[in-house]
Structure 1
Amino acid sequence: MRIVTFFAPLFIGLLACSQTPKMAIVSEINHSKQNENTIMSTNTIYDFKVKDLAGAEFDFTSLKGKKIMIVNTASECGLTPQYEQLQTVYETYKDENFVIVGFPANNFGAQEPGTNEQIATFCKKNYGVTFPMMAKISVKGNDMHPIYQFLTQKVKNGLQDSEVQWNFQKYLIDENGHLVKVISPRTLPNDAEIINWIEGK
């Protein structure tokens, strides 16, 4: 009887110890899932404010309800003539809840060396650009602008990781501010894939 009395508390203590790690593991798993959900909770394009070519603040919340094409541009690139198609597409669909936003960048072959003022003059004079053009930024590397971190990182955009391959890569944003498609630099702005998306086909 004494032996039973002596070992009973010991057995209960061991049983309690054996249960604790299981509970801790379950708690840790649940916590891990919560962290994963937090990490994967995506931003929208509406979280960003930037400067335009004139230095004024541009708030992406002003574009709520519109489909948006974001494109990194350059003035001295073999793809620079895409400005012409960009402007045509913008003029065609600007009254149908669609907008293009350009971000000049000098990340590729130093093909956008000018100042914001020079870029504005170039775009207007050569291609009659009237869609919103933002101040020059970096779209890759250690100094990548936060808006391009959103566009290129799945943990921020919820869709996919990507890398800006060259000037005139396109990012398509839906009416709710979410990234829905990444388009190659060499795909023209008036390509059927883009037009069908704009038209909701």
Structure 2
Amino acid sequence: MSAKKFDKPEGKEHLDKDFLEELKHKIWSTKGTRFTADSRLKATAQLSHLCISILSVYLIIFGLLTVYKIYNPGEDPDSANIIAFSITATSILLLVFSLYENAQNYQIRAKNFHDCALDLADLYNELQNFKTYRKAATDVEKMEFTQDLQQRYQNVLRKYDNHSPIDNRKFKSEHLDYYKTLGWGFKLRTLGSYFIKTKLVYWTAIIVPGIILYLIMK
């Protein structure tokens, strides 16, 4: 009796093929995910710099409101404390936020992910060349090539930090033609999760002080 063959869902047919094909998929998907991580960190660095700059502007504006007496709280002590509280809160927020963001080293981490993706691209191209021009290779030659490539693939991964799970989800959501079983629901959920994890805190820090300033001036 022949062994039962389990059908794989669409987008994972490589698991039913030989190990070289599976290795090709691993390198391809990891390469793409590392490029995605590179793009995420570069975008985060830009948004972080924008956020810090806008918070600095807010801090200056709050200070100028009292200097030029643009905001006059009158005799209400609670209103008089709003500007002082806003300046102090924004100063603390800016200090903590700046220290935290500078410690993240977004640009350096992005470069590392980019370099990792380039190293994986070299392996992927080598594999493609082997499959294209060494079609007459014996099973022993295929095994030796696969073992060597697998080892070098693992060595590349050991050199760099791992990417975030959201990077892998983002990569898959951009290749639904391959990961067909995931569907548009997965893409929409990923976009929402991606915004929350990578942009929400920055836009909150940018918008909330602006709302406070608007309420003060109203």
TM-score normalised over the length of structure 1 = 0.26
Q: TM-score, normalised by structure 2?
A: 0.24
Name whichever structure is richer in helix by fraction.
2
- Does 1 or 2 have the higher relative contact order (CA < 8 Å, sep 6+)? 2
Q: Going by fraction, where is strand more abundant, 1 or 2?
A: 1
